[in-house]
Structure 1
Amino acid sequence: MIGKLQIKRYYFGKQREQFSLSEDTYDGWGMLAAQSGRFSFSLEGAEQGEQIAEFGELVFCQPGQTLRRLALEPISFHFAEFMLDSSWTLPSKIRIKDVGRLSSTFQYLQEWQEEVDHGDHQWKVVHHLIEDLLFMANREQLTAQRNRSGTSDPLMNQAAAYIEMQAFEHELSLQGLAVTLGIGASQLTRRFQTAYGMSPIRYATKVRLSRARLLLAETPDTLDAIAEQCGFQNAFYFSRVFSQQMQISPSAYRRTFRV
């Protein structure tokens, strides 16, 4: 589980020949990710030695650890420093398979960087976007751990695939999914929580909100239409869930990120 997240700072570096600093040490966790180009990096005290990272890979540095980096070609990048209140351990580099979602989140972060006024609600948006990156990293980490230990739960992989395909349908029923899988609803919830670090309901909500973010930023669709396309009962319920989860209303989100 990711735990409570506190963003200390975020920065998008436009394309340049080299990083301003060749190394740095952070009080919190550091995350560095290339949007374009490649860089080499090493972490003080790590066994892996020097590694190379490119788009699709997130590099993490533990609190108090020194991160050394060198651009291998012109590079643009995202950097964040954050605190976690959990003991979740991050590997030094994680490859994200869902590059479409990663690219979308990077784009929203870049657009935020270009905003002149970074008020409280904009910072809440950044918090959600960094949390989304950590959610993707956590999912990849859990998948890798299951594969290494041989304890992957194929049935829960089926459940996740089903939720992703059916999340935008109003009649999505976890009880029906449990019946389809041949297990009880409580067992589904327990096993899904173990496999993915969250409940099936929260997983479905994240899938729905990810699509809603895209529609708000890239289409002129009304809130009623977006609610319909994302599986929410109506615009009122959609707005309430969106505002609770992202700490910003759908309308304010659209004003912030609409190009």
Structure 2
Amino acid sequence: MHQMWQIIPALHSHVYWNRKARFLYETDTYDKWCLFVIEDGSFAYGIGEHEGEAASGSLVFCPPNVPFRRRTILPLSFHMFLFDWTWDAPVCAELQAGMDSDLLPAGRVEIRDRNRLRSVCAYLRSLPITSEPSVHFWKNHLLRDCWLMYCAEQHPAPLPTGKATEHPLMDQAALIIRQKAHEPLNLGAVSAALGLTPVQFTRKFHAAYQMTPMDYLITIRLNQACTLLRETDLTLDEIAERCGYQNGYYISRLFTQRLNITPSEFRRMNRI
């Protein structure tokens, strides 16, 4: 299975609309992928089976040759991109066969890092309306930044694999943590089993993995929680129990602190 970040948008055109009161055509169809990046206002949309409303912080994707229905609710400021996807040749073959087509979004997705998205939009607004190659290059770069923001937020806590470090003892520690992460785990007991004090353990582990043992444990548990929120209907307390916590309060606090989102918001935005 290929990953989302292996598929990259290639810009065809970009236009910025400021406080658009209504669409000239409430339904339109494009021969390329279309993306609306919403800065302000809101609108109702329909794209195939996907329907809803989008506002500031939303990206709305429409595949080619699919009718894009839209109606403004509040005067809309947005960037409109037309683009194609680029990828490595093996990925292209699989996508054309329909194997990885679920990687490509349709309808609305949300960007949690609103400050960064606003910054990208400000850069786009500052660029002149011209066909100069240098301007096209920067607009293409900023389009890709929007896409990669979305990709990154779908995988909020990537883990080091625990392999090929120069610290065999810490590789052993990482393996213990991964194996026991989904049950109550005392990191002090792990350090003692390795013949280290907690301070020595933390220092050596950070040198090997660029994070503390506790951060490593939390990252594993958050990854598991994200998977369970996306793929199951378990309650937050049930998810907490499967991730090594006593109740949902700890999971909720970690999501807010580390991912800047609540578990319920994450589930709503990532369930299909």
Matched, 1:34 2:38: yes
Query: Using the alignment, how far apart are the partners of 1:77 and 1:179 within structure 2?
Result: 39
Question: AA paired with 1:56?
Answer: G
Q: Is the 8 A contact 1:95 1:140 kept in 2?
A: no
Q: Which residue of 2 aligns with 1:235?
A: none
Match 1:121 to one of 134, 152, 165? 134
Query: Using the alignment, how far apart are the partners of 2:15 and 2:152 within structure 1?
Result: 24
Query: Using the alignment, how far apart are the partners of 2:7 and 2:159 within structure 1?
Result: 26
Q: Is the 8 A contact 1:2 1:138 kept in 2?
A: no
Q: Which residue of 1 aligns with 2:112?
A: 97
Q: Is the 8 A contact 2:9 2:147 kept in 1?
A: no
How many equivalent pairs are there? 155
Q: Which residue of 1 aligns with 2:151?
A: 138
Shift of 1:153: 5.6
Matched, 1:78 2:79: yes
Question: AA paired with 2:68?
Answer: L
Query: Using the alignment, how far apart are the partners of 1:52 and 1:5 within structure 2?
Result: 24
Question: AA paired with 1:111?
Answer: S
Question: AA paired with 1:30?
Answer: C
Query: Using the alignment, how far apart are the partners of 1:177 and 1:131 within structure 2?
Result: 32
Give the match's secondary structure for 1:72: strand
Q: Which residue of 2 aligns with 1:256?
A: none
Write the deviation string for residues 94-151 of structure 1: whole angstroms up to 9, x where unpaired. 1101000000001111111xx25441111100010000000011123334xxxxxxxx
Cα RMSD (Å): 3.0
State the TM-score, normalized to the length of structure 2: 0.51
Write the deviation string for residues 159-208 of structure 1: whole angstroms up to 9, x where unpaired. xxxxxxxxxxxxxxxx94625456xxxxxxxxxxxx9xxxxxxxxxxxxx
Give the match's secondary structure for 1:73: strand
Query: Using the alignment, how far apart are the partners of 1:126 and 1:97 within structure 2?
Result: 21
After superposition, the Cα gap between the structure-2 partners of 1:32 and 1:117, relative to the gap in structure 1 and judged at 3 Å, is closer
Question: AA paired with 2:14?
Answer: Y
Query: Using the alignment, how far apart are the partners of 1:116 and 1:61 within structure 2?
Result: 24
After superposition, the Cα gap between the structure-2 partners of 1:127 and 1:176, relative to the gap in structure 1 and judged at 3 Å, is farther
Q: Is the 8 A contact 2:160 2:209 kept in 1?
A: no
After superposition, the Cα gap between the structure-2 partners of 1:155 and 1:34, relative to the gap in structure 1 and judged at 3 Å, is same
Question: AA paired with 1:138?
Answer: C
State the TM-score, normalized to the length of structure 1: 0.53
Shift of 1:11: 0.7
Query: Using the alignment, how far apart are the partners of 2:44 and 2:209 within structure 1?
Result: 46
After superposition, the Cα gap between the structure-2 partners of 1:117 and 1:42, relative to the gap in structure 1 and judged at 3 Å, is closer
Q: Which residue of 2 aligns with 1:63?
A: 64
Query: Using the alignment, how far apart are the partners of 1:2 and 1:65 within structure 2?
Result: 24
Q: Which residue of 2 aligns with 1:23?
A: 27
After superposition, the Cα gap between the structure-2 partners of 1:180 and 1:136, relative to the gap in structure 1 and judged at 3 Å, is closer
Give the match's secondary structure for 2:145: helix
Q: Which residue of 1 aligns with 2:123?
A: 108
Give the match's secondary structure for 1:108: helix
Give the match's secondary structure for 2:70: strand
Matched, 1:6 2:10: yes
Listed as ranges, the matches of 1:85-234 within 5 Å are 85-86=86-87, 87=95, 88-112=103-127, 115-143=128-156, 176=207, 178=209, 180=211
Q: Which residue of 2 aligns with 1:227?
A: none
Q: Is the 8 A contact 2:34 2:62 kept in 1?
A: yes
Q: Which residue of 2 aligns with 1:165?
A: none
Which consecutive unaligned segments of at least 5 residues does structure 2 have?
A: 88-94, 96-102, 162-205, 214-225, 227-272
Larger radius of gyration: 2
Give the match's secondary structure for 1:36: strand
Q: Is the 8 A contact 1:24 1:66 kept in 2?
A: yes
Identity of aligned residues (%): 24
Query: Using the alignment, how far apart are the partners of 2:147 and 2:121 within structure 1?
Result: 13
